[in-house]
Amino acid sequence: MTRTALFSPVEIVDGARERGIVLIGDHARNAVPDEYGDLGIPAAEFDRHIAYDIGVEWVVRRLAALIGAPAVLAGFSRLLIDPNRGEDDPTLIRQLYDGTVVSGNYPITAHERERRLDRFYRPYHDAVAAMTASVAAASRRAPFIVSIHSFTPAMQGRRRPWHVGILWDSDDRAVKPVLEALRADPDLVVGDNEPYDGALRGDTMFRHATVNGYPHLLIELRQDLIATEAGATRWAQRLAPILDAVDRRDDMHRVEQFGSRTGPV
């Protein structure tokens, strides 16, 4: 766990905004401000997926450097509050997560919930919104939003065979060419809306891409493949030319309203 009194809920990795790409790391870090201590759980729990998406920060930083695109990283652990959930989602602040009771989150008062929204969640989403607006203005086209996450090799006793998964809701503009490019490698097991479904009302992609009609996708990488900086670099090098090629497609950067499988937007 990274714990610091000098705490920022968001970090901007700058890049060429005229490229038209925005990279996002919702769960990039496991940091908690000093005042929250250890949230009542053993320090080792902050090394698990329940606290952050292992390897994602390395991947996002390396992708940003390779593509030359800006990135927005959440600076706080998802155990404080999960930025990839809607404000009304019951899993926004977890009290039990994959077998771990987070006693620092239980009970949680309405005041403390609002405080975490104001201090962590909303500043992060304000930064994502500002970046997408800035990229749209600089590129003069709809920004291509790419969110990077990671997933555990097994969950609840079930092995997850995918090396990478592409999550999406109803807009498949970027999804189809990325899936095609990844599946061209016969050694890769590629998931389409695996290991999760990309239609989650109120999540980051819904909030910043779906409702705005911007092309987007969420890339899930298996954590054992990016748990080292070397592994993360290899995956960034694999993804960079694919995302770059998709970004340069003439049909990619239009504002198009596809709606959502979760209901009307």
Enumerate domains of the chain plus CATH numbers. 3-247 (3.40.630.40)
The pLDDT of residue 264 is: 80
The pLDDT of residue 263 is: 82
The pLDDT of residue 156 is: 84
The pLDDT of residue 265 is: 75
Environment class of 78 (CB within 10 Å of its CB; exposed 0-12, middle 13-18, buried 19+): buried
Q: Which residues of the chain have pLDDT under 50?
A: 5
Backbone angles phi, psi at 187, to 5 degrees: -85, -10
Cα-Cα-Cα-Cα torsion 111, 84, 247, 61, nearest 10 degrees, comes to 80
Amino acid at 253: H
The pLDDT of residue 7 is: 87
Task: Tell me how far CA of residue 154 lies from CA of 15, 43, 85, 160, 161, in angstroms.
Answer: 35, 22, 22, 5, 9
- Helix or strand or coil: residue 193? coil
The pLDDT of residue 2 is: 58
The pLDDT of residue 1 is: 63
Residue at token pair 């990279």: 23
